[in-house]
Amino acid sequence: MNIELIGNIVGLILAHSAYIGSGQDGELMVPYVIFQSGESRELQNFEADTQQQAVDLAHETIEKYQHLVDVWAYAQEGLVTLGDGSKQDVYLIKAWGQGLSEPIQLYQMFQPKPFKLIGNIKMLNFEDAGFRLEQAEAFHSALDAGITSHQKANEKWEGWFE
């Protein structure tokens, strides 16, 4: 498993989602996937009549191409329920690379209007996906490098946090 490659693509898709969200003026982001093989990356957007149709189409595409790529990352908008029962906007992210037993699942809370990122990214299944706790620091460093690699998002990154 290439923890740097997986962390990098998670950071890149997080940065790209924030970049999209910062210009959406409260509109819903279209689900999308970044596929990577070697140094080649391909981004695919999934527009449909409903958000659920777009999500389903994205997951069908991931299943179709997963065995052909080194790594992929997927992002969509969603909601999580907080401890007080209120709903919070989030970017839901899944990523997979060779050697993982299942895709890693993460979310980043945000405020759509005015756009702000809230807190740190949350990992839901780090160990279940196949990572070991001692790899967390390397994953975080790779994630930060992925964020930095998105030049336009990186320029605004710190200003997006509350």
Report how far apart, in Å, the C-alpha atoms of 118 and of each of 63, 85, 121, 155, 160 are: 31, 17, 9, 18, 8
Residue 148: which pLDDT band, with cuts at 50, 70 and 90?
very high
> Which pLDDT score, from 0 to 100, does residue 84 have?
95
Structure tokens at 73: 């990352």
pTM of the model: 0.95
List phi, psi (to 5°) of 67: -75, -10
In this prediction, residue 43 carries a pLDDT of: 96
How far is the C-alpha of 49 from the C-alpha of 102, rounded, in Å?
A: 29
Gyration radius from the chain CA atoms: 15
Beta bridge partners of 20: none
pLDDT band at 24 (very low <50, low <70, confident <90, very high): confident
Q: What is the mean pLDDT of residues 17-24?
A: 93
Dump pLDDT digits (tens) for 31-85: 999 999 999 999 999 999 999 999 999 999 999 999 999 999 999 999 999 999 9
92-137 pLDDT, tens digit per residue, is 999 999 899 999 999 999 999 899 999 999 999 999 999 999 999 9
At residue 103, the pLDDT reads: 96
